[in-house]
A and B are shown apart, each in its own frame.
Chain A
Amino acid sequence: MACVLGISAHYHDAAAALVVDGRVVAAIQEERLSRIKNDPGLPIAAALACLQFAGIDPGAVDALAFYEEPFAKLERVLVHLLRNLPRTWRLFPRALASQLGSKIWVLDHLSEATGVPRGRVLTCEHHHSHAASAFLVSPYDDAAVLVVDGVGEAHSTTLWHGQGGALRLLASVDFPHSLGLLYAGLTAWLGFPVNEGEYKVMGLAAWGRPHLRDEFSKIVTLHPDGAYELELGCFAHMSDAELGFGPGLERILGPRRPPGRPWDLDDPADRRYADVAATLQAVLEDALLGLAQRARALTGSHNLCLAGGVALNARANARLRREAGFARVFVQPAAGDAGGALGAALIAAQRLGDPRPSALLSAALGLPIDAARGHDVARALGLSVRRLDDPATTTARLIAEDRIVAHARGRFEWGPRALGQRSLLARPRDRNIRERMNRLIKQREPFRPFAPAVLSESTAEYFAADADDMSPFMTTVAPVLDTKRERLAAVTHEDGSARLQTVEATRAPELHAVLTALAAAGEDPIALNTSFNGAGEPIVASSEDALAFFLRHNIDALILEDLLIERPK
């Protein structure tokens, strides 16, 4: 029996995960504690917070597992810099300063900063960490595992067969060909920030028509066996760290959209950009479908696990669920690089003889709210604080009154989705609530949807789908029933879909109680559920973060465990 800390860091979404005796005890993204969105730095605060939560001294950690192999990464960087000379000569000093100045020493730095002895620090391969993060906490004993991201050490796509506790690599696609970098390059071309704007491209896709297939056939080639190739002249990720796309892309699709320009989807130019997003989404889905069908053929399994940043594309996941021939599909809530920390911890725990953990039921793996501290700080700030006997019923009443409620109860979520523990909740009926949410808090582009959380047992009454293995973690979409679109106007996307979260008492008890109270009050058992953060901020973690948010944004009420902090009407 072992205590293992997993770490992912240095590129984006640094995180730490703690596995004790084969059980996932805590998992925290560094951004929640550092308050830096997508914080890529070493997740020392997250690692120490995991240990403190579990009451474990760093000296008692049996292994600290880093989610990738720094030397293999250095090798790939060297080979590609050399292979792409002379285009890369300007990058040499910076690339090598970055590698040799910090990245190859990462294991030493982790040991020194956490207090875990250096001899207990080990590494796992990047895509293996991803695959383990999905399969080993999935509810399946046998599954095909598809990992798709930008790039790890060398692989950008891998197919695995998971059986029992073992993962076997079956096939791969290597850098510089990469679906993650295809999506990232087009994200940059559309004027969005890379590593953050991919969700916006997915939202924008619903507003366009995927009619630019001929153009995209010159950008990426999909082979019948599921493999794919990028036309490298369209991309710059081999030689440029800033842009990601090359002049070839602009020759095919036209000039890039200027970053920061406000969107007007009545403007023909912006409509065309939406068409590009729609075609990109369709091509990505086709590529993933080819890979998933290949995985199905190679493994013969009826279950599919997805991991890597591309697995956060909820629309693509829904299509795989419908068309790839698998009975069940699972996506771990932190499918991106943060999830690598969990995967690395699970691999190391297995190496030390621990059993495979039970299936992940809840994403609430972060730190709890300190309500007493929240009470003291709120009183010190002169806010009106009231202790509630039944916070769920009060929350439901406020939602039914069309008020926006910030809801912070329980341990915060693992992964980029707010699943009820740190959520802004509102009534899903009126489209105006979207405008209000955007104006007061989110400041999102007008084409981006808000998501619904629905009582699991009521899902089929509102959506053309049942709860599945993805919907509790909000990693899939489902069509809203035609008859319910008017009632769910605030959470129905342009294409009639919604990125729903199905809520069960065992997985998200606090949110389940709120939805149950809504139903008891004669409302639909559904709430608009968006992340408890402002534009460009990480999701709230502590009671202090929640109170700071309450002071900055004009929301109606804040629930901090059993405390109600209300703004005067």
Chain B
Amino acid sequence: MNPPRPQRPGLLRRLGARARTVLRLILHFLHPARFVLAPLLIVLLLAGMLLMFTGGLAYVAPFVYTLF
């Protein structure tokens, strides 16, 4: 029998956590060697936020770990 799951944090706390993750991601890609990826990342982040609010997408394939 699986143990009970803890209560999910409220919307504001979750949004705060997501904002911090976005900040960390931007800081990761601010490294000079990764500047070239920055424009792509901005477009992708917008798409990512959209996906996050629409519930995400799950996809499983045998070689998914090499690409996704």
Residues of A with Cβ closer than 8 Å to B? 11-12, 33, 40, 44-45, 48-49, 51-52, 58, 71-72, 74-75, 77-82, 88, 91, 94-105, 107-108, 111-115, 118, 150-151, 175-176, 181, 184, 188, 193-195, 236-244, 542
Contact = CB atoms under 8 A, between A and B. Distances in A.
A98 B64 contact: yes
Contact of B47 (A11, A96, A115): A96
B interface, over-half SS: helix
Nearest to B7: A115
Contacts, number: 137
A80 B45 contact: no
Nearest to A11: B65
B67 interface: yes
A185 B44 CA distance: 30
A150 B66 CA distance: 8
Interface in B23-68: 24-25, 28-29, 34, 37, 40-41, 44-45, 47-48, 51-52, 56-68
Contact of B29 (A75, A111, A115, A242): A75
Nearest to A238: B66
24 contacts: A49-B2, A49-B3, A74-B25, A77-B67, A77-B68, A94-B68, A95-B68, A96-B48, A98-B64, A100-B45, A100-B51, A101-B48, A102-B57, A105-B18, A108-B18, A112-B14, A113-B6, A150-B65, A193-B62, A238-B66, A240-B67, A241-B62, A241-B68, A542-B1
A470 to B, nearest CB: 26
A150 B67 CA distance: 11
Contacts of A101: 48, 51-52, 56-58
Contact of B25 (A49, A80, A104): A104
A242 B48 CA distance: 23
A531 to B, nearest CB: 22
A299 B29 CA distance: 35
A108 B21 contact: yes
Contact of A108 (B14, B40, B57, B61): B14
A88 B6 CA distance: 40
B24 A71 contact: yes
Given A78-B40, A97-B57, A101-B52, A241 B67 contact: yes
Contacts of A188: 62
A473 to B, nearest CB: 24
A44 B8 CA distance: 13
Contacts of B63: 181, 184, 194, 236-237, 240-244
Given A45-B3, A104-B25, A194 B62 contact: yes
Contacts of B24: 71
Contact of A48 (B2, B9, B62, B67): B2
A243 B51 CA distance: 27
Contacts of A107: 21
Nearest to B33: A75
Contact of B66 (A40, A97, A105, A241): A241
Nearest to A196: B62
B52 A181 contact: no
Contacts of A82: 40
A44 B20 CA distance: 22
A105 B5 CA distance: 19
B18 to A, nearest CB: 6
Contacts of B14: 108, 112
Given A75-B28, A100-B48, A100-B51, A12 B65 contact: yes
Contact of A241 (B6, B52, B64): B64
10 closest cross-chain pairs (CB), A and B: A100-B48, A115-B6, A194-B62, A101-B51, A11-B65, A98-B68, A101-B56, A241-B61, A71-B28, A48-B3
Of B4, B29, B41, B44, chain A has the most CB atoms within 10 Å of the CB of B44
A239 B62 CA distance: 13
A12 B62 CA distance: 9
Nearest to A370: B1
A84 to B, nearest CB: 10
Nearest to A244: B63
B6 to A, nearest CB: 3
Contacts of A33: 2
B44 A100 contact: yes
Nearest to A98: B68
A44 B25 contact: no
Contacts of B1: 542
A340 B8 CA distance: 26
